[in-house]
Every structure is written in structure tokens, then in C-alpha cells.
Structure 1
Amino acid sequence: MSYSIRRLSRNDLGAYKAIRLEALERHPEAFLSDAESFAALTDEEIEAALEKLTVFGAVLPDGRLGGINAFLRAQGAKERHRGWMIQVYVRPAHRGSGMARALCEHLIAHARAEVLQLHLGVWSENYAAIRLYEKLGFEVYGTEPRYLLVNGCFCDEHMMVRFLDKAPGEDK
């Protein structure tokens, strides 16, 4: 499978909206945002989010997106050393292809120039994602019980971190 990974811009608005809405509809337990709220956003609001975040896409030869993820840097003076990997999603047809890993590695490389540590949250029952993040050097540092309430069910979230200024597994 051929694809390239690049930062998305306002020119990618339609493709980003489609894949983000798909992610929120298919996996409501995996994201803090919900499909209905996202669908109600204006194009201008989504363009502003694309500018605030650093959103990467795995762009297929036909221009569609096979997957996305986003980087958000903390803004406070005391927390600018921290960043977040958010909005990680790969379409079902591309799962198991290495696309998710490539997107995450691309984001990690970007984050190295921005922050000292990278955080993420992952639904505690998303075992494939947890395995991938562990292979990439992330470690669980806590679990937030009942993080989300989705369709009447509570979802716990593992909080994970990777220290970019240390080798994976090295003491904090």
C-alpha cells in the first residue's frame, strides 16, 4: 500500500472532516469529542482547529486519507515541555498495514523538536492501540476510571507518556 504522511491544511478540510466524523461515529469510546458536536461545527471552526493543532494525515494516491493523528503542545509557561498525541485513527481497511505506526512515528519525530515528553490517552480496552503505543516507548502512568460515559457504559482511560529526552524504559 502506498501513502505519504504530511501535515494537513485548510485545503484538506473536506477529507479531514470525513475521516474525523467517521472516527467519532465508529469509535465513540475512543474520543472525548462526539460525532454530533463535531458535525455541528462550521468549516471555519474546523479550519481554526487545523491551524491550532498539528494534524497529520496518511494520504493515499487518490487523495483520500487512510488515517490521521494530531499533536497539541501545552501552552502554559510551566507545561510547555509537554505535548499530546490525540485524534489517532486509521480506517479499518488500513489497519494492520503499519499505517498507524508510521503516523505515530511521524508525530513523535515532529514532537521531538517541540517538547520533552509526549502524552496520550487510550481507552483501556483498546488492546491493539495499547500494544502499539508500548512498542513505541510509551508507558502507562495511570488509569482514569469512568473517563467517559458512552451509550450507558463507562469507559476507563489509560494515560501514557513517552519521555523524548530519554531512551524508552529509562528512569524518569
Structure 2
Amino acid sequence: MSFSVRQLTAADAEAFRTIRLEALLDTPEAFGGDHGEESQQPLEAFTEQLTGSAVFGGFVAERLCGVVGLYWSQSAKRRHIGNLYTVYVRPEARGQGMALPLIEEAVAHARQLGHQQVLLAAGAENAPALALYRKAGFEIYGTEPRSLYVNGRYIDEHLMVRLLDEAPGKTTK
């Protein structure tokens, strides 16, 4: 399967809304967002996500099949940190190698913005996601117990970091 990756724009808001809501239904334990809440938001809320952060999409032909977002703080003390969110690939596009290039595109953008590290959180029991993030150079630095409460159960999340000013997998102590 051939795919392309590009940053989404406000013109992609409807497609982004569709895939984001699909992700929240497909794997609710993997996201802090809630389908019931986000499905009530107007399209403008999704447009604001695209213009207030950087969201990258993976396309098969013209269909948006994967996304990853990067947001950051404007605070002078936290401006060096980027945060990955909403990493998702549609089931029909999984296993085709799309997720890693999406993540790498977001990391490259973080570098361009001058970030020195990128953070993310992943379900402690989500082995495929953890393997993907490790392959992308992220490492676990902690675990947040009971980070999410989904369908009557708590989900612990591993907190992961990729330092951009050092080789992947190496941290300064």
C-alpha cells in the first residue's frame, strides 16, 4: 500500500473530525478524549486543533487513514517540550508502515520549532503502541497510575520521552 504524509490544514477539519471520532470509538482506552463529549463539539473545535497545533495525516489515495498531533506550551519554561497526541491509524491501514512515518514527521516538526524533547503517554497494557513508540526512539520515564477511567476500569499510562538533542534512547542523568 502506498501512502503520503502531510500536515493537515483547516480545509481538512471534516476529515480530521471523522477520524478522531472513529478513533475514540475504536479504542477508547487509548485516548484521553471522550467520544460522547467530542462528538458534540462543532466543526470549529476541530479546525482550532488543526490551526493551534500541528496535526499530520497519512493518506491512501485521497482518504485520511492515519493521524498524529503535536502540541506545545507557549510558556517560556515549557516551550522546549512538544507533546504527541491522537496517534491513530484506521484498521484497514494498520500493518502497512504508516504510523512510524507519521510520528517521525511530527518529531521533525518539533525539531523545526526548536523543541528539545517530545513527550507522550501510552496505555501500559497497549503492547503494539509501546513497541511502536520504542521503535520511534521514545523511552518510558514513569507511569501514571489510573490515568484514565474507561468503561468501568482504570488504565495506567506509561509516560514516554524522546530527547531531540541527543541520540534516541539516551537520557541525561
TM-score (norm 1): 0.96
Following superposition, the deviation at residue 12 of structure 1 comes to: 0.9
* Counterpart code for 1:55: V
Question: 1:32-111 counterparts in 2 under 5 A?
Answer: 32-61=32-61, 63-111=62-110
* Counterpart code for 2:89: V
TM-score (norm 2): 0.96
Where does residue 155 of structure 1 map in the other structure?
155
Where does residue 119 of structure 2 map in the other structure?
119
Contiguous gaps of at least 5 residues in structure 1: none
Following superposition, the deviation at residue 171 of structure 1 comes to: 3.3
Separation (CA, whole Å) in 2 of partners of 1:19 and 1:166: 34
What SS class does the counterpart of residue 162 from structure 2 fall into? strand
Following superposition, the deviation at residue 170 of structure 1 comes to: 2.5
Percent identity, aligned pairs only, is 47
| Change in 2 beyond 3 A, CA 1:12/1:153 | same
* Counterpart code for 1:5: V
Deviation string, structure 1 residues 26-45 (Cα, Å, up to 9, x no partner) = 11111111001111111122
Separation (CA, whole Å) in 2 of partners of 1:132 and 1:4: 19
* Counterpart code for 2:56: F
| Change in 2 beyond 3 A, CA 1:46/1:169 | closer
- Where does structure 1 differ by over 4 angstroms across 4 or more consecutive aligned residues? none
